[in-house]
Structure 1
Amino acid sequence: MGQAFNPSKPTSWISYVDANNLYGWAISQFLPIGNYQWEASRKYLLKNSVMQKKYLEKILKAKPNARRGYFLNIKSYFLLKTHDYLRDLPPAVENVAVGKDWLSPYNEKLVNNLDGRFSKTKNEVSEILSFDQTNWLAPYIAFNTRNARAKNAFRKRLLQAHE
């Protein structure tokens, strides 16, 4: 890179990802459709850590395809000395069980290095929004995906006529 390279700046990379139909996949998932409700007031939650824990346990037991979905606003505070190290693997991004087959050697190293070394100093559930959810667009997206793969000329012309 010559003169443009500055070793004092943080390292960054550009990744090429070859992925198809990400938008179609995303809108095929369970999405909020209405009946939004705040589960508890912000003041109540921030003053009552026992209720925060009860709500959190209830929500974590809910299945992703359940009739009710939840959005949570959680404040987590980590020790200042851990901030630089945690930029490689942000904690608490998603509640998902990661299988060994998902991990690259680099990820496995990060998981082993981060496991238990960085304790959170404070966690607060400040807001919980619940809503009805469904994957109402999934059949439509699946239909369009199948039709995009049409092999014969008649089927392709038929689909173009309906656009």
Structure 2
Amino acid sequence: MPEPEKNILEFNNHHFKNRLPFVIYCDFEACNIPMQSCTPDPDKSYTKPISKQEINSYGMYVHSDYPEIYKSQYFHYDGDDVDKPILNKYEEDEFQEATECYICGKEFEENNKVREHDHLSGKYRGAACQSCNTKEDANNLYGWSMSKKLPTKDFKWEEDPDYYKKVPKGRGCLIKCDLKYTDKCKKKTIKYPLVPEKTRPKKEELSNYQLNLLGNKPLGNEEKLFLTGKDKKKYIVHYKVLKDYIKLGMKVTKVYKTISFKESDWLAKYINFNTEQRTKSKSDFEKDLWKLMNNSFYGKTLEDIRGRSEIKLLTDREEVKNI
């Protein structure tokens, strides 16, 4: 019997109370093909196969409550290859022979090996353990960014508006410019727009889904980071990020200012040391310590101390002594 303080069953799945924005209905259709089998021994228990199901088609309906984000769609497929194997013979042999997870490198435990695939292309990527397959994560992102080449010295304004197109080796730059979000770029990035912008939201800019979440609550006046897919004016961006934007179809319509600087990976040695020590850690405390050594440094690089600085220009020696 349960203990007195534990003898009451309560509902705890509160996250199921809200209506889901998307629902997927799936169905397979199959033909029952009669099977011939030998007469079983009546003196022993047995299972007699009667027919075999051969899949001939499948359908899937994705229902969306918010068509402005994703329209409801129906998918259907039928044909001789409707039940073709997900892996080819080479991939299946590779999977069967694998003894280590291709993501974390650890040996498989019993009944722990699964087929991991790319969710965009559908292609098989390798044999993985279940935890890595469901919880694949990009680790040490702060450390990764800080180990790249960073500004060091020799800052100067550049007069050439096209300087970002041919940055000399050993130098980098920041550009203040206007960006045109072309239709080509919108199609490629509709699920995850480029050019994040910190601004205050306006109620008329919210989607029906966002308005539903907001309910009767006030919108508030805090600045938030938005991905809007809109053109940007006087946007400040690093030249490497700008090159990626241009590759995806975005256009630079005007350059206001460009500041260049010498750059080097001066912080990489420190970051790599902390990362290496974290992999050698044998306790959660040690892991968190070495992780914090990188993350706290990253926080200091973003810290804005202007609001906490007090600068005084003094000409009186006695007044200087009293500060």
Higher strand share: 2
Compute the TM-score of the two structures, normalised by the length of structure 1: 0.50
Higher helix share: 1
Structure with max Cα Rg: 2
